[in-house]
Structure 1
Protein backbone atom coordinates (compact mmCIF):
# COMPACT_ATOMS: atom_id res chain seq x y z
CA UNK A 1 0.00 0.00 0.00
CA UNK A 2 1.18 3.47 -0.82
CA UNK A 3 1.72 5.73 2.15
CA UNK A 4 -0.01 9.03 2.00
CA UNK A 5 2.29 12.02 2.24
CA UNK A 6 1.60 13.98 5.34
CA UNK A 7 1.44 17.70 4.80
CA UNK A 8 2.28 20.21 7.54
CA UNK A 9 -0.47 22.57 8.50
CA UNK A 10 -0.08 25.92 6.77
CA UNK A 11 1.62 28.58 8.93
CA UNK A 12 0.29 32.06 9.51
CA UNK A 13 0.47 34.34 6.55
CA UNK A 14 3.05 37.20 6.85
CA UNK A 15 1.44 40.49 7.61
CA UNK A 16 1.70 43.10 4.94
CA UNK A 17 3.34 46.32 6.04
CA UNK A 18 1.07 49.23 5.72
CA UNK A 19 2.48 52.28 4.05
CA UNK A 20 1.97 55.31 6.21
CA UNK A 21 0.91 58.18 4.11
CA UNK A 22 2.38 61.52 5.07
CA UNK A 23 -0.47 63.75 5.78
CA UNK A 24 -0.61 67.53 5.68
CA UNK A 25 1.13 67.77 9.09
CA UNK A 26 4.60 68.39 7.65
CA UNK A 27 3.37 71.09 5.31
CA UNK A 28 1.60 72.79 8.17
CA UNK A 29 4.77 72.66 10.30
CA UNK A 30 6.86 74.18 7.51
CA UNK A 31 4.29 76.89 6.97
CA UNK A 32 4.31 77.72 10.68
CA UNK A 33 8.11 77.92 10.66
CA UNK A 34 8.06 80.30 7.70
CA UNK A 35 5.46 82.48 9.39
CA UNK A 36 7.47 82.61 12.62
CA UNK A 37 10.65 83.62 10.75
CA UNK A 38 8.74 86.28 8.84
CA UNK A 39 7.30 87.64 12.08
CA UNK A 40 10.75 87.82 13.69
CA UNK A 41 12.22 89.57 10.64
CA UNK A 42 9.34 92.04 10.60
CA UNK A 43 9.81 92.77 14.31
CA UNK A 44 13.56 93.32 13.85
CA UNK A 45 12.96 95.62 10.89
CA UNK A 46 10.22 97.67 12.52
CA UNK A 47 11.29 97.98 16.15
CA UNK A 48 15.14 98.08 16.26
CA UNK A 49 15.93 101.36 14.53
CA UNK A 50 18.73 103.76 15.44
CA UNK A 51 17.49 106.77 17.38
CA UNK A 52 20.67 107.77 19.22
CA UNK A 53 24.44 107.57 18.58
CA UNK A 54 26.86 108.30 21.44
CA UNK A 55 30.64 108.87 21.37
CA UNK A 56 32.95 108.08 24.30
CA UNK A 57 36.67 107.67 24.98
CA UNK A 58 39.76 109.88 24.95
CA UNK A 59 40.13 111.69 21.64
CA UNK A 60 41.11 115.02 20.15
CA UNK A 61 38.07 114.81 17.89
CA UNK A 62 34.70 116.18 18.94
CA UNK A 63 31.60 114.01 18.94
CA UNK A 64 30.31 115.95 15.95
CA UNK A 65 33.47 115.22 13.95
CA UNK A 66 33.26 111.51 14.73
CA UNK A 67 29.54 111.30 13.92
CA UNK A 68 30.13 113.07 10.62
CA UNK A 69 32.82 110.53 9.68
CA UNK A 70 30.72 107.56 10.86
CA UNK A 71 27.79 108.43 8.61
CA UNK A 72 25.16 106.58 10.68
CA UNK A 73 21.69 107.83 9.73
CA UNK A 74 18.81 108.00 12.18
CA UNK A 75 16.33 105.25 11.43
CA UNK A 76 18.89 102.72 10.20
CA UNK A 77 18.27 99.19 11.39
CA UNK A 78 20.38 98.34 14.42
CA UNK A 79 20.86 94.71 13.37
CA UNK A 80 21.91 95.50 9.82
CA UNK A 81 24.55 98.14 10.63
CA UNK A 82 27.82 97.40 8.82
CA UNK A 83 30.26 97.94 11.68
CA UNK A 84 33.32 97.26 9.50
CA UNK A 85 32.32 99.91 6.95
CA UNK A 86 31.58 102.45 9.70
CA UNK A 87 34.95 101.79 11.37
CA UNK A 88 36.81 102.15 8.07
CA UNK A 89 35.10 105.48 7.34
CA UNK A 90 36.07 106.85 10.74
CA UNK A 91 39.70 105.74 10.41
CA UNK A 92 39.92 107.22 6.91
CA UNK A 93 38.72 110.66 7.95
CA UNK A 94 40.17 110.82 11.48
CA UNK A 95 43.79 109.56 11.26
CA UNK A 96 44.73 110.27 14.89
CA UNK A 97 42.49 107.43 16.09
CA UNK A 98 44.18 104.25 17.26
CA UNK A 99 41.12 102.12 18.06
CA UNK A 100 37.43 102.41 17.15
CA UNK A 101 34.78 100.12 18.63
CA UNK A 102 31.15 100.10 17.44
CA UNK A 103 28.68 98.72 19.99
CA UNK A 104 24.94 98.09 19.61
CA UNK A 105 22.83 98.94 22.64
CA UNK A 106 19.30 97.68 22.24
CA UNK A 107 16.73 98.76 21.49
CA UNK A 108 17.82 101.93 19.64
CA UNK A 109 21.37 103.12 20.49
CA UNK A 110 24.81 102.86 18.88
CA UNK A 111 27.89 103.61 20.99
CA UNK A 112 31.23 104.56 19.37
CA UNK A 113 34.23 104.11 21.69
CA UNK A 114 37.51 105.78 20.67
CA UNK A 115 41.17 105.81 21.65
CA UNK A 116 43.70 108.20 20.11
CA UNK A 117 47.20 107.37 18.92
CA UNK A 118 50.12 108.83 20.87
CA UNK A 119 52.71 110.65 18.70
CA UNK A 120 56.16 109.10 19.17
CA UNK A 121 58.49 110.54 16.53
CA UNK A 122 58.83 112.58 13.37
CA UNK A 123 60.17 110.85 10.26
CA UNK A 124 62.05 113.09 7.83
CA UNK A 125 61.97 112.10 4.16
CA UNK A 126 62.68 114.24 1.09
CA UNK A 127 62.36 117.50 3.04
CA UNK A 128 58.94 116.54 4.41
CA UNK A 129 58.12 115.67 8.00
CA UNK A 130 55.67 112.97 9.07
CA UNK A 131 54.42 112.65 12.64
CA UNK A 132 54.01 108.95 13.54
CA UNK A 133 53.06 106.79 16.52
CA UNK A 134 55.17 103.91 17.81
CA UNK A 135 53.49 101.48 15.38
CA UNK A 136 54.49 103.63 12.40
CA UNK A 137 51.05 105.07 11.65
CA UNK A 138 51.29 108.48 9.97
CA UNK A 139 49.19 110.95 11.96
CA UNK A 140 49.86 114.12 10.00
CA UNK A 141 52.41 116.04 7.95
CA UNK A 142 53.98 118.90 9.88
CA UNK A 143 56.40 121.72 9.17
CA UNK A 144 60.06 121.70 10.14
CA UNK A 145 59.32 124.25 12.86
CA UNK A 146 56.77 121.89 14.41
CA UNK A 147 59.29 119.05 14.80
CA UNK A 148 60.74 120.63 17.96
CA UNK A 149 60.08 118.44 20.97
CA UNK A 150 59.80 115.23 18.97
CA UNK A 151 62.38 112.55 18.25
CA UNK A 152 63.52 113.23 14.66
CA UNK A 153 64.23 110.09 12.61
CA UNK A 154 66.46 110.47 9.55
CA UNK A 155 68.03 108.15 6.99
CA UNK A 156 64.90 106.17 6.08
CA UNK A 157 63.69 105.37 2.56
CA UNK A 158 59.89 105.50 2.30
CA UNK A 159 57.37 104.54 -0.36
CA UNK A 160 54.67 107.19 -0.95
CA UNK A 161 53.82 108.17 2.65
CA UNK A 162 50.15 109.09 3.22
CA UNK A 163 48.38 110.45 6.30
CA UNK A 164 46.33 107.73 7.99
CA UNK A 165 48.44 104.93 6.51
CA UNK A 166 51.40 103.07 7.99
CA UNK A 167 54.97 103.80 6.94
CA UNK A 168 55.96 101.74 3.91
CA UNK A 169 59.72 101.20 3.78
CA UNK A 170 61.84 100.57 0.72
CA UNK A 171 63.97 98.42 3.03
CA UNK A 172 61.75 96.41 5.35
CA UNK A 173 64.62 95.90 7.78
CA UNK A 174 64.56 99.65 8.45
CA UNK A 175 60.93 99.42 9.51
CA UNK A 176 61.61 96.53 11.88
CA UNK A 177 64.56 98.33 13.45
CA UNK A 178 62.62 101.58 13.92
CA UNK A 179 59.72 99.73 15.55
CA UNK A 180 62.09 97.98 17.96
CA UNK A 181 63.79 101.25 18.91
CA UNK A 182 60.57 103.23 19.48
CA UNK A 183 58.82 100.48 21.45
CA UNK A 184 61.84 99.54 23.56
CA UNK A 185 62.69 103.18 24.29
CA UNK A 186 59.10 103.91 25.30
CA UNK A 187 58.88 100.82 27.52
CA UNK A 188 62.17 101.83 29.16
CA UNK A 189 60.95 105.38 29.75
CA UNK A 190 63.69 107.12 27.74
CA UNK A 191 61.91 107.94 24.47
CA UNK A 192 61.32 111.54 25.55
CA UNK A 193 65.09 111.91 26.08
CA UNK A 194 65.97 110.82 22.53
CA UNK A 195 66.12 113.87 20.29
CA UNK A 196 67.16 112.10 17.10
CA UNK A 197 67.74 108.72 15.45
CA UNK A 198 70.05 108.40 12.45
CA UNK A 199 69.21 105.19 10.56
CA UNK A 200 71.17 105.82 7.39
CA UNK A 201 73.14 102.62 8.06
CA UNK A 202 71.39 99.79 9.88
CA UNK A 203 74.68 98.58 11.35
CA UNK A 204 75.68 102.05 12.54
CA UNK A 205 72.52 103.47 14.10
CA UNK A 206 73.17 106.61 16.15
CA UNK A 207 71.00 108.36 18.73
CA UNK A 208 71.09 111.92 19.98
CA UNK A 209 70.40 111.46 23.69
CA UNK A 210 69.40 114.81 25.20
CA UNK A 211 71.75 117.57 24.08
CA UNK A 212 74.74 116.03 25.85
CA UNK A 213 75.37 112.61 24.33
CA UNK A 214 75.70 110.90 20.98
CA UNK A 215 74.92 107.20 21.41
CA UNK A 216 76.55 104.78 18.98
CA UNK A 217 73.96 102.02 19.03
CA UNK A 218 75.30 99.86 16.23
CA UNK A 219 72.38 97.47 15.61
CA UNK A 220 69.19 96.83 17.58
CA UNK A 221 70.55 93.50 18.79
CA UNK A 222 69.96 93.10 22.56
CA UNK A 223 68.59 96.62 22.70
CA UNK A 224 67.13 96.29 26.20
CA UNK A 225 70.56 95.41 27.57
CA UNK A 226 72.13 98.32 25.69
CA UNK A 227 69.59 100.76 27.13
CA UNK A 228 70.34 99.41 30.60
CA UNK A 229 74.05 100.16 30.02
CA UNK A 230 73.12 103.62 28.74
CA UNK A 231 71.20 104.43 31.92
CA UNK A 232 74.10 103.23 34.08
CA UNK A 233 76.63 105.38 32.20
CA UNK A 234 74.46 108.50 32.37
CA UNK A 235 73.88 108.03 36.11
CA UNK A 236 77.63 107.86 36.79
CA UNK A 237 78.51 110.96 34.77
CA UNK A 238 78.35 114.50 36.03
CA UNK A 239 75.58 116.89 35.05
CA UNK A 240 77.89 118.80 32.71
CA UNK A 241 79.65 115.86 31.03
CA UNK A 242 79.18 115.48 27.28
CA UNK A 243 80.52 112.99 24.78
CA UNK A 244 79.93 109.73 22.94
CA UNK A 245 78.50 106.60 24.56
CA UNK A 246 79.52 103.51 22.60
CA UNK A 247 76.98 100.66 22.87
CA UNK A 248 78.01 98.74 19.78
CA UNK A 249 79.15 95.85 22.00
CA UNK A 250 76.07 94.40 23.77
CA UNK A 251 78.30 93.22 26.64
CA UNK A 252 79.71 96.59 27.69
CA UNK A 253 79.50 100.36 27.29
CA UNK A 254 82.30 102.87 26.72
CA UNK A 255 82.25 106.63 27.18
CA UNK A 256 84.41 109.04 25.19
CA UNK A 257 84.30 112.55 26.63
CA UNK A 258 84.31 115.61 24.42
Structure 2
Protein backbone atom coordinates (compact mmCIF):
# COMPACT_ATOMS: atom_id res chain seq x y z
CA UNK A 1 0.00 0.00 0.00
CA UNK A 2 2.84 2.39 0.74
CA UNK A 3 4.22 1.96 -2.75
CA UNK A 4 0.84 2.66 -4.44
CA UNK A 5 0.42 5.96 -2.62
CA UNK A 6 3.87 7.35 -3.42
CA UNK A 7 2.98 8.63 -6.95
CA UNK A 8 -0.15 10.31 -5.59
CA UNK A 9 1.84 12.05 -2.91
CA UNK A 10 4.37 13.23 -5.48
CA UNK A 11 1.62 14.68 -7.69
CA UNK A 12 0.09 16.50 -4.74
CA UNK A 13 3.49 17.89 -3.73
CA UNK A 14 4.19 19.12 -7.25
CA UNK A 15 0.76 20.75 -7.44
CA UNK A 16 1.29 22.47 -4.08
CA UNK A 17 4.70 23.67 -5.24
CA UNK A 18 3.05 25.33 -8.26
CA UNK A 19 0.09 26.78 -6.39
CA UNK A 20 2.31 28.70 -3.92
CA UNK A 21 4.17 30.80 -6.54
CA UNK A 22 0.96 31.27 -8.52
CA UNK A 23 -0.79 32.73 -5.48
CA UNK A 24 2.19 35.00 -4.86
CA UNK A 25 2.16 36.28 -8.45
CA UNK A 26 -1.59 36.84 -8.33
CA UNK A 27 -1.18 38.72 -5.06
CA UNK A 28 1.54 40.90 -6.57
CA UNK A 29 -0.61 41.62 -9.61
CA UNK A 30 -3.54 42.57 -7.41
CA UNK A 31 -1.31 44.82 -5.29
CA UNK A 32 0.08 46.55 -8.38
CA UNK A 33 -3.43 47.08 -9.70
CA UNK A 34 -4.61 48.58 -6.41
CA UNK A 35 -1.54 50.81 -6.16
CA UNK A 36 -1.93 51.98 -9.75
CA UNK A 37 -5.42 53.21 -8.87
CA UNK A 38 -4.32 54.58 -5.50
CA UNK A 39 -1.41 56.49 -7.07
CA UNK A 40 -3.36 58.01 -9.94
CA UNK A 41 -3.49 61.80 -9.95
CA UNK A 42 -7.10 62.70 -9.22
CA UNK A 43 -6.71 66.29 -8.04
CA UNK A 44 -4.30 69.11 -8.91
CA UNK A 45 -4.26 72.08 -6.53
CA UNK A 46 -2.64 75.40 -7.45
CA UNK A 47 -1.91 77.88 -4.66
CA UNK A 48 -0.61 81.44 -4.70
CA UNK A 49 -1.31 82.27 -8.34
CA UNK A 50 -2.94 85.58 -9.21
CA UNK A 51 -1.50 86.59 -12.57
CA UNK A 52 -2.21 83.21 -14.21
CA UNK A 53 -5.20 80.89 -14.14
CA UNK A 54 -5.00 77.45 -12.58
CA UNK A 55 -5.33 75.87 -16.02
CA UNK A 56 -2.41 77.89 -17.43
CA UNK A 57 -0.16 76.71 -14.62
CA UNK A 58 -1.24 73.08 -14.90
CA UNK A 59 -0.62 73.11 -18.65
CA UNK A 60 2.83 74.64 -18.17
CA UNK A 61 3.65 71.95 -15.60
CA UNK A 62 2.51 69.23 -18.03
CA UNK A 63 0.78 67.32 -15.24
CA UNK A 64 -2.58 65.70 -15.93
CA UNK A 65 -5.23 63.87 -13.98
CA UNK A 66 -4.68 60.16 -14.48
CA UNK A 67 -0.88 60.43 -14.37
CA UNK A 68 0.93 58.13 -11.98
CA UNK A 69 1.78 60.05 -8.83
CA UNK A 70 4.98 58.08 -8.34
CA UNK A 71 6.37 58.89 -11.77
CA UNK A 72 5.67 62.64 -11.85
CA UNK A 73 8.87 64.51 -12.71
CA UNK A 74 8.74 67.44 -10.31
CA UNK A 75 11.90 69.02 -11.72
CA UNK A 76 10.41 68.99 -15.20
CA UNK A 77 7.14 70.47 -13.92
CA UNK A 78 8.95 73.30 -12.12
CA UNK A 79 11.17 74.00 -15.13
CA UNK A 80 8.17 74.12 -17.46
CA UNK A 81 6.33 76.63 -15.28
CA UNK A 82 9.36 78.91 -14.88
CA UNK A 83 10.16 78.79 -18.59
CA UNK A 84 6.64 79.50 -19.84
CA UNK A 85 5.22 81.85 -17.20
CA UNK A 86 7.52 84.84 -16.56
CA UNK A 87 5.48 86.25 -13.67
CA UNK A 88 6.32 83.16 -11.58
CA UNK A 89 9.29 83.87 -9.30
CA UNK A 90 9.49 80.46 -7.64
CA UNK A 91 7.45 77.26 -7.57
CA UNK A 92 7.37 74.00 -5.65
CA UNK A 93 5.55 70.84 -6.70
CA UNK A 94 4.64 68.28 -4.05
CA UNK A 95 2.58 65.10 -4.06
CA UNK A 96 0.16 63.92 -1.41
CA UNK A 97 -1.51 60.56 -1.01
CA UNK A 98 -3.95 59.65 -2.23
CA UNK A 99 -3.69 61.16 -5.71
CA UNK A 100 -3.07 64.88 -5.11
CA UNK A 101 -0.50 67.18 -6.71
CA UNK A 102 0.03 70.58 -5.06
CA UNK A 103 1.67 73.43 -7.01
CA UNK A 104 2.72 76.36 -4.80
CA UNK A 105 3.43 79.57 -6.72
CA UNK A 106 5.29 82.70 -5.60
CA UNK A 107 4.72 85.40 -8.19
CA UNK A 108 7.18 88.05 -9.26
CA UNK A 109 6.24 91.61 -8.43
CA UNK A 110 6.53 94.29 -11.09
CA UNK A 111 8.77 97.00 -9.65
CA UNK A 112 10.47 99.04 -12.34
CA UNK A 113 10.71 99.73 -16.04
CA UNK A 114 13.47 100.48 -18.50
CA UNK A 115 13.09 101.98 -21.95
CA UNK A 116 14.57 101.01 -25.30
CA UNK A 117 13.65 102.82 -28.51
CA UNK A 118 10.39 104.08 -27.04
CA UNK A 119 9.36 100.65 -25.74
CA UNK A 120 9.04 100.10 -22.00
CA UNK A 121 10.03 96.82 -20.38
CA UNK A 122 8.85 95.89 -16.89
CA UNK A 123 11.22 94.04 -14.53
CA UNK A 124 11.02 92.40 -11.12
CA UNK A 125 13.50 92.56 -8.23
CA UNK A 126 15.90 90.13 -9.91
CA UNK A 127 15.78 92.20 -13.12
CA UNK A 128 13.84 89.49 -14.91
CA UNK A 129 11.87 90.97 -17.78
CA UNK A 130 8.19 90.32 -17.07
CA UNK A 131 6.48 91.94 -20.03
CA UNK A 132 6.34 94.94 -22.30
CA UNK A 133 4.62 97.90 -20.76
CA UNK A 134 2.70 100.98 -21.76
CA UNK A 135 2.29 104.28 -19.95
CA UNK A 136 -0.75 103.04 -18.03
CA UNK A 137 0.84 99.73 -16.97
CA UNK A 138 4.06 101.39 -15.80
CA UNK A 139 2.31 104.03 -13.73
CA UNK A 140 3.40 103.61 -10.13
CA UNK A 141 6.53 101.67 -11.07
CA UNK A 142 10.10 102.94 -10.75
CA UNK A 143 11.61 104.62 -13.79
CA UNK A 144 15.17 103.45 -14.41
CA UNK A 145 17.55 105.91 -16.03
CA UNK A 146 21.17 105.60 -17.17
CA UNK A 147 20.79 101.97 -18.23
CA UNK A 148 20.54 100.94 -21.89
CA UNK A 149 18.92 97.50 -22.31
CA UNK A 150 20.27 95.05 -24.88
CA UNK A 151 17.68 92.90 -26.67
CA UNK A 152 15.26 92.61 -23.74
CA UNK A 153 13.17 89.44 -23.86
CA UNK A 154 10.25 88.38 -21.69
CA UNK A 155 11.19 85.76 -19.13
CA UNK A 156 14.92 86.44 -19.27
CA UNK A 157 17.21 88.51 -17.06
CA UNK A 158 17.79 92.03 -18.26
CA UNK A 159 21.12 92.73 -19.94
CA UNK A 160 22.54 96.15 -20.59
CA UNK A 161 25.40 97.89 -22.29
CA UNK A 162 28.61 97.84 -20.28
CA UNK A 163 30.06 95.28 -17.91
CA UNK A 164 26.81 94.39 -16.15
CA UNK A 165 27.49 96.50 -13.07
CA UNK A 166 24.37 98.60 -13.64
CA UNK A 167 22.08 95.55 -13.75
CA UNK A 168 23.74 94.08 -10.67
CA UNK A 169 23.26 97.32 -8.75
CA UNK A 170 19.67 97.66 -9.93
CA UNK A 171 18.78 94.13 -8.82
CA UNK A 172 20.28 94.72 -5.38
CA UNK A 173 18.37 97.99 -4.98
CA UNK A 174 15.07 96.58 -6.19
CA UNK A 175 15.41 93.64 -3.82
CA UNK A 176 15.75 96.01 -0.88
CA UNK A 177 12.89 98.18 -2.10
CA UNK A 178 10.58 95.16 -2.25
CA UNK A 179 11.72 93.71 1.06
CA UNK A 180 11.21 97.04 2.82
CA UNK A 181 7.91 97.84 1.02
CA UNK A 182 9.31 101.12 -0.31
CA UNK A 183 7.93 101.00 -3.87
CA UNK A 184 5.39 103.78 -3.39
CA UNK A 185 8.14 106.12 -2.20
CA UNK A 186 10.57 105.68 -5.10
CA UNK A 187 9.94 107.39 -8.44
CA UNK A 188 13.25 106.83 -10.23
CA UNK A 189 16.70 105.23 -10.01
CA UNK A 190 19.59 106.73 -11.98
CA UNK A 191 22.40 104.30 -12.83
CA UNK A 192 24.44 106.58 -15.04
CA UNK A 193 27.29 105.78 -12.64
CA UNK A 194 26.71 102.23 -11.33
CA UNK A 195 29.24 102.88 -8.57
CA UNK A 196 27.16 105.80 -7.30
CA UNK A 197 23.47 105.14 -8.02
CA UNK A 198 21.02 107.95 -7.31
CA UNK A 199 17.42 107.44 -6.19
CA UNK A 200 14.51 109.73 -5.47
CA UNK A 201 12.74 108.92 -2.21
CA UNK A 202 9.41 110.25 -0.97
CA UNK A 203 9.64 113.12 -3.43
CA UNK A 204 11.77 114.96 -0.86
CA UNK A 205 15.16 113.28 -0.90
CA UNK A 206 17.79 112.62 -3.51
CA UNK A 207 19.62 109.58 -2.19
CA UNK A 208 23.20 108.86 -3.25
CA UNK A 209 24.54 105.34 -2.75
CA UNK A 210 28.13 104.09 -2.87
CA UNK A 211 30.21 100.92 -2.92
CA UNK A 212 31.72 101.07 0.57
CA UNK A 213 28.85 99.11 2.11
CA UNK A 214 26.24 96.63 0.87
CA UNK A 215 22.95 97.94 -0.43
CA UNK A 216 21.20 96.19 2.45
CA UNK A 217 23.30 98.18 4.91
CA UNK A 218 22.86 101.44 2.98
CA UNK A 219 19.09 101.07 2.83
CA UNK A 220 19.13 100.53 6.57
CA UNK A 221 21.03 103.80 6.93
CA UNK A 222 18.48 105.50 4.70
CA UNK A 223 15.51 104.37 6.77
CA UNK A 224 17.25 105.40 9.98
CA UNK A 225 18.22 108.83 8.64
CA UNK A 226 14.74 109.63 7.33
CA UNK A 227 13.20 108.66 10.66
CA UNK A 228 15.30 111.37 12.33
CA UNK A 229 14.24 114.13 9.92
CA UNK A 230 11.00 116.11 9.95
CA UNK A 231 8.26 115.98 7.35
CA UNK A 232 9.35 119.39 6.09
CA UNK A 233 12.98 118.40 5.46
CA UNK A 234 14.12 118.14 1.86
CA UNK A 235 17.59 117.54 0.51
CA UNK A 236 20.30 115.10 -0.49
CA UNK A 237 21.13 112.06 1.63
CA UNK A 238 24.62 110.78 0.86
CA UNK A 239 24.98 107.18 2.03
CA UNK A 240 28.23 106.47 0.21
CA UNK A 241 30.48 106.84 3.26
CA UNK A 242 31.73 103.87 5.23
CA UNK A 243 29.98 102.74 8.39
CA UNK A 244 26.99 104.61 9.77
CA UNK A 245 27.94 107.96 8.20
CA UNK A 246 25.12 109.78 6.40
CA UNK A 247 25.50 113.31 5.05
CA UNK A 248 22.32 115.38 4.73
CA UNK A 249 22.46 118.50 2.57
CA UNK A 250 19.23 120.55 2.50
CA UNK A 251 18.00 121.80 -0.87
Post-superposition offset of 1:84 = 2.4
What is the aligned partner in structure 2 of residue 93 from structure 1? 84
Which residue pairs with 1:184 in the alignment? 176
Q: TM-score, normalised by structure 1?
A: 0.71
Tell me how many residue pairs correspond in the alignment.
Answer: 228
SS of 1:146's equivalent in the other structure is helix
Query: How large is the Cα RMSD of the aligned pairs?
Result: 3.3
Gaps of 5+ in 2: 1-20
Residue in 1 that maps onto 2:17: none
C-alpha contact 2:114 2:149 (8 A) present in aligned 1? no
C-alpha separation in 2, matches of 1:187 and 1:67: 29
Higher helix share: 2
Residue 253 of structure 1 aligns with which residue? Answer: 246
Q: Which residue pairs with 1:79 in the alignment?
A: 70
Matches within 5 A, 1:140-219: 140-170=131-161, 171-219=163-211
Instruction: Tell me the CA shift for residue 128 of structure 1.
Output: 2.6
Where 2:207 maps in the other structure, the secondary structure is strand
Residues 205 and 219 in structure 1, CA contact (< 8 A), matched pair in contact too: no
1:59/1:115 contact within 8 Å kept: no
Partner of 2:108: 117
**Superposition deviation, residue 188 in structure 1:** 4.4
Is contact 2:209–2:240 with CA below 8 Å preserved after alignment? yes
Measure, in 2, the Cα distance between the counterparts of 1:52 and 1:222: 46
2:45 is the counterpart of 1:54: yes
Mapped partners of 2:238, 2:166: distance in 1 = 21
* TM-score, with structure 2 as normaliser: 0.73
Aligned to 1:14: none
The residue correspondences of 1:23-38 to structure 2 (distance < 5 A) are: none
Compare CA radii of gyration and give the structure with the larger one: 1
Q: Using the TM superposition, give the Cα deviation of residue 207 of structure 1 relative to its aligned residue in structure 2, in angstroms.
A: 0.8
